[in-house]
Amino acid sequence: MDYMTDGKNKPNQNFDSQIQEIVKLKKTYPNTLFPFYGIDPRNPDTANIEKLKTQILSGTFSGIKLYPPKGYFPFDPRLDNMYKFAEENNIPIMTHCARSGSYYIGKDVWSLIPDAPNSLNPTHPVMLNVRKRIAAYKNTGIKEFKENKRVCNLFSHPENYLPVLEKYPKLKLCLAHLGGGFEILGNQNPNPNENKLFRDLIQVESANKSWYEIIHQDILKNYTNTYSDISYTLCDKLSLEKINTDLDAKILPADRILFGTDYFMVQQEDEELKVVATAEEKLKKYFAQMMSENVKNYLY
């Protein structure tokens, strides 16, 4: 979280001391704790590939975690060596891919977003879409879309992973949340405010697909080492019903959707065990596989 603000607020513990705490916890709970190593390309400690290699190859960390809405694009060239290492060693990456959640809270988010961001795969056609989206957000007349919460959609957009996956097609990558319930329901959302927001976003971004559609049509379908999960989305019964329908229709790959809770966020909605029970009810045929076999395949 160090880089989520303008740099004035420092954490109580530096990154290395937090890592050492996790090392101790892993030794205490070797068979039940599987931490992921947080990476941010702006942080020299986390961008140092040798430190990452040491922690992953020692067995302390089971994977890598990205959270782009903190203020960076996942195609950032400074992440190139990390992706190369992950693909070569079959290391799973988990990344946040929903419009909600945490986001950059500094005063000048646009200082992080050039008109034409650098890319580890600069000739990929999606980079043109990225530049168009940036211009659209800069020029929109919708006041809400000038605020950090919406501007950080530019970092989180699932298309941002297509240049990465073209360069590293065997990368084991999980785009968490399936884009979020908001995108799963799309213009079928019965909540009128969310329905309007979805339509406004589609218009501003000149999009012909929801994030959910991009994830399952352009990523899961074309890259067989990619995954998604139901974490936090399990709070939304209608989204779970849609997921179940799409699993039945083989629109979603049943062997690459993972169980997850996002428990501390889920507790804002209801007790964790209650929402998990709802997910089990709505996804009866697939729930056990999501919790066991799929997770094992992702982790190992």
Instruction: Indicate if the pLDDT at residue 11 is higher than 90.
Output: no
- Give residues with Cβ within 8 angstroms of 224, minimum separation 6: 256
Instruction: Indicate if the pLDDT at residue 77 is higher than 90.
Output: yes
What pLDDT is attached to residue 15? 84
Instruction: Indicate if the pLDDT at residue 162 is higher than 90.
Output: yes
Quickly state the pLDDT bin for 3 (edges 50, 70, 90): confident
What pLDDT is attached to residue 16? 85
Instruction: Indicate if the pLDDT at residue 132 is higher than 80.
Output: yes
- Reported pTM: 0.95
Give dist(CA 194, CA 52) in Å, integer.
40
DSSP 208: S
Which of 183, 213, 177 shows the shortest CA–CA distance to 197?
A: 183
What pLDDT is attached to residue 288? 97
Residue identified by tokens 């990154």 is 15
What pLDDT is attached to residue 62? 97
What pLDDT is attached to residue 43? 87
CB 97 within 8 A of CB 127: no
Q: Retrieve residue 193's tokens.
A: 């405010």
CA dihedral 74→79→83→86, nearest 10 degrees, is -110
The residue ranking higher by pLDDT, 270 or 222, is: 222
Question: For residue 149, how many other CB atoms are within 10 A of its CB?
Answer: 16
pLDDT tens-digit map of 31-62? 999 999 999 999 887 767 898 999 999 999 99
Indicate the helix (H) or strand (E) that contains 276: helix 272-282
What pLDDT is attached to residue 271? 87
Q: Retrieve residue 75's tokens.
A: 């195609």
Instruction: Indicate if the pLDDT at residue 269 is higher than 90.
Output: no
Instruction: Using alpha carbons, list the distances in angstroms from residue 273 to 73, 230, 268, 280.
Output: 34, 15, 13, 10
Q: Which residue ranges make up each domain of the chain?
A: 15-229
What pLDDT is attached to residue 161? 98
